[in-house]
Structure 1
Amino acid sequence: MSRRSVRTERRLFLADGPKAVEGALSVEGCVVEVFATPAALEHHATLLTGADVTLVDDRALASLSDSVSPAGVVAVCRHLDAPLQHVVTASPRLLAICADVRDPGNAGTVIRTADAAGADAVVLAGQSVDPYNPKTVRATVGSLFHLPFAIAPDPAAAVRAAQARGLTVLAADGGGEDDLFDVDLSGPTAWLFGNEAWGLPDELAALADHRVAIPIHGRAESLNLSTAAAVCLYASARAQRSSR
């Protein structure tokens, strides 16, 4: 299951390490089987209580993990993504849409940040990285199992679907005309984040209700994607909680 095509065909992926396995075990019906070394089973006995565990040696476990230092426990999991319409019709108040986000670490960090900020869902749209890529799963540190997410082939369709459900779509854009701290963030909001290298295409950003820039007060040229996402999502989370 190291290749996306295989993961997609089988609708299975690997959760590597205790945090990922713990998250997977918290979702009913997600875990098919757990593989662990005897040492890991002993060390994580509480975590693995009641799980269907197959004991393997270090060499076999290493073949399932792409980590430099495998933690000794890997779970085979069923896919968790929901259809886009299911995600947007659940009346989310805070949504993150990632358009063509290619880096597994960035995508995983956005999912983790969205979870931490109390967002309702994440959409990975366009040519974004596979959320089941082992590096993405690892970067979420278990958050992949905590909140709904969708895989959408068309970013524009994701934007329109969010707007159709009453969410204001804000494009995070360094050249945006609105300052983050001047925008009303108290209502249902979908943040639109673009590719790490080239940001959002003009035609996609134009679909948003507002193009919003994070003010840069120092000499830095810009913020990286995951940092910008954290600032935007937490700004919305604070505004929404203050308005209740």
Structure 2
Amino acid sequence: MTTDPSLLSNPRSERVRQVAALGRRAARDKQGRFLVEGPQAVRELLGYAAPAAVVLYVTDAAEQRHTEIVEAARTAGVPVHACTDQVLAAMADTDHPQGMLAVARRVDVPLAEALDAVGEGFAVVLTHVRDPGNAGTVLRGADAFGAAAVLVSDASVDVYNPKVVRSTVGSLFHLPVTVGTPVAELLAACRDRGIRLLAADGSGSTTLPEVDLSGPHAWVMGNEAWGLEPEVLDLCDETVAIPIQRAESLNLAMAATVCLHASGSAR
């Protein structure tokens, strides 16, 4: 193996424990770092946010399989450390890691910067989204359909939760994401910028095919169980329902994907 000659082989070493600790929010908040697991996510990290990469850990098999990723890390000046499968498993959040794991610095941006990016485009606001898989899927959909930014409130899941990061499949590094702002303040900031707030909710009197998506706007998404709270609906400009043929309802990630696709198509 041609990476760091000092192979990391002790799953109980202090270095391994420090990396594994990033699976917990308290450690992520303290260190300002998070885990990026798997070749695809690491590739996107190095391709779109290389300055945020701190270190790459890789097994021999993964290095042989993904030489271009390892070379990209070296080119970016990211230290590459060889490790055993047991060490990588001890560091990773998943039961079956794919031989590659990076530690990265936070990549979120200030709210003002995210709003600047919206311009005449569209964004998505996560108000009380708590499920990591849903949050990651919404972020991935926002990336896929051309959203300019993702605005995540302080009442939502941590976007650096390993499950969120994995669910984005690298989209976390593709577009501005802002975190930590209270919901009311987040919505007020959007309105101050002339961004129309479209609440995605089954109670809406306007249906998705009818809504005007021509100007700057943001889809406001609620909690998986109770949807959008009444006070949040009151702060939005319009409440929009997705027409459904037979199913009782759509889950949060599906609803967000449909709305984001409609906005992308309207461009």
- TM-score, structure 2 normalization: 0.87
Q: How far 1:9 sits from its partner (Å)?
A: 1.4
Q: How far 1:127 sits from its partner (Å)?
A: 1.7
1:177 maps to what in 2? 205
2:154 to 126, 129, 141: 126
SS in structure 2 opposite 1:181? coil
Gap regions ≥5 residues in structure 2: 1-21, 74-78
Paired residues of 1:152 and 1:158 also in contact (CA < 8 A): no
1:38 to 60, 72, 77: 60
Paired residues of 1:62 and 1:70 also in contact (CA < 8 A): yes
1:198 maps to what in 2? 226
1:61 maps to what in 2? 88
1:22 to 32, 43, 67: 43
Q: How far 1:50 sits from its partner (Å)?
A: 4.0
SS in structure 1 opposite 2:117? coil
2:133 to 91, 97, 105: 105
Distance in 2, Cα, partners of 1:74 & 1:90: 30
Gap regions ≥5 residues in structure 1: none
Please show how residues 158-237 of structure 1 align to structure 2 within 5 Å.
158-218=186-246, 220-237=247-264
**Bigger CA drift: 178-187 or 112-121?**
178-187
Q: Given residue 79 of structure 1, which amino acid in structure 2 is its aligned partner?
A: R
Distance in 2, Cα, partners of 1:166 & 1:29: 33
SS in structure 1 opposite 2:203? coil
Distance in 1, Cα, partners of 2:61 & 2:252: 38
Q: How far 1:216 sits from its partner (Å)?
A: 1.4
Q: Given residue 201 of structure 2, which amino acid in structure 1 is its aligned partner?
A: D
Please show how residues 132-151 of structure 1 align to structure 2 within 5 Å.
132-151=160-179
- TM-score, structure 1 normalization: 0.95
**Bigger CA drift: 195-204 or 82-91?**
82-91
Aligned residues: 239
Paired residues of 2:56 and 2:101 also in contact (CA < 8 A): yes
SS in structure 2 opposite 1:59? helix
Paired residues of 2:36 and 2:162 also in contact (CA < 8 A): yes
Distance in 1, Cα, partners of 2:126 & 2:218: 10
Q: What's the % identity of the aligned pairs? A: 48
Distance in 1, Cα, partners of 2:241 & 2:118: 26
2:19 maps to what in 1? none
